[in-house]
């Protein structure tokens, strides 16, 4: 093989490597976006395979590569493998800062959207996020995430529905905050897909009518 052919082969190999690297970078970017979109539901290896058109080993290499990048000290979140799914989570070593944020009065006011989401959960618990979305008519992902962070809502397992989505229910902290001894003290109301939450007042209990702020 002459020098010209060798140079041509080397150039072709370099181009192939560059193309593979470019595809991997695109797939990593897409995967990162997928993890953000699914939130607390997480992604399974099978979902990564199906969406990106990868085989099992390729999907594993991709998520591991992205996971390693998130482990660097200059990143505030990491990828964890929890309950057979990969999820974006905050780093435990930064917990004290997140706690300060949650306890900050300026960030503790419950919005109308949060109260609406909370009302749907408490009258239908345990309930999946998709069921909350159906009742509200909009995505409740961010609202549920905030309610979990505030300690008002928690995960209580998974539904038997296809995809086994996470089930949510309210906590004892929710009852304490609204001055309720138990769920029996809630205003009487049947929350269904046919009814809205406009007339539900979670503050209308015999214990409290305080303004909506986390103490």
- The CATH architecture one would assign to domain 3-90 is Orthogonal Bundle (1.10)
Per-residue pLDDT of the chain (215 residues; tens, 9 = 90+): 566 666 566 655 666 665 666 777 899 999 999 998 888 778 999 999 999 999 999 999 999 999 998 888 778 888 988 878 898 888 888 878 777 766 665 555 678 888 889 989 988 999 999 999 998 888 888 899 889 888 899 999 998 888 889 999 999 888 887 777 887 877 776 554 444 444 455 544 433 334 344 33
Q: Following CA atoms 130, 133, 138, 143 in sequence, which dihedral angle do they give, to the nearest 10 degrees?
A: -90
What fold does the segment set 95-185 form as a domain?
Arc Repressor Mutant, subunit A (1.10.10)
- Asked if 79 and 70 touch (Cβ cutoff 8 Å), the reply is yes
Residue from 142, 210, 129, 143 nearest 176 by CA: 210
* CA–CA dist 207, 124 (Å, integer): 22
Distances in whole angstroms, Cα of residue 5 to Cα of each of 1, 13, 16 = 6, 12, 16
Domain with CATH 1.10.10.10 in the chain: 3-90, 95-185
- To the question of pTM greater than 0.75 for the whole model, the response is no
* CA–CA dist 180, 19 (Å, integer): 61
């Amino acid at each position: 093989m002459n020098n010209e052919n060798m140079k041509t082969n080397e150039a072709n190999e370099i181009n192939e490597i560059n193309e593979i690297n470019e595809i991997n970078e695109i797939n990593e970017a897409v995967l990162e976006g997928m993890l953000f979109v699914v939130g607390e539901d997480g992604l399974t290896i099978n979902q990564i395979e199906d969406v990106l058109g990868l085989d099992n080993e390729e999907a594993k290499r991709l998520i591991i590569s992205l996971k390693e990048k998130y482990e660097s000290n200059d990143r505030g979140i990491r990828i964890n493998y929890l309950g057979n799914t990969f999820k974006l989570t905050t780093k435990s070593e930064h917990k004290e800062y997140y706690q300060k944020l949650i306890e900050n009065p300026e960030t503790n006011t419950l919005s109308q959207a949060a109260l609406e989401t909370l009302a749907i959960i408490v009258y239908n618990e345990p309930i999946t996020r998709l069921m909350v979305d159906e009742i509200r008519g909009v995505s409740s992902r961010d609202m549920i995430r905030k309610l979990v962070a505030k300690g008002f809502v928690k995960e209580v397992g998974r539904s038997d529905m296809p995809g086994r989505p996470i089930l949510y229910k309210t906590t004892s902290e929710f009852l304490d905050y609204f001055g309720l001894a138990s769920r029996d003290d809630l205003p009487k109301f049947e929350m269904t897909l046919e009814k809205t939450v406009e007339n539900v007042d979670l503050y209308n209990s015999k214990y409290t009518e305080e303004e909506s702020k986390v103490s």
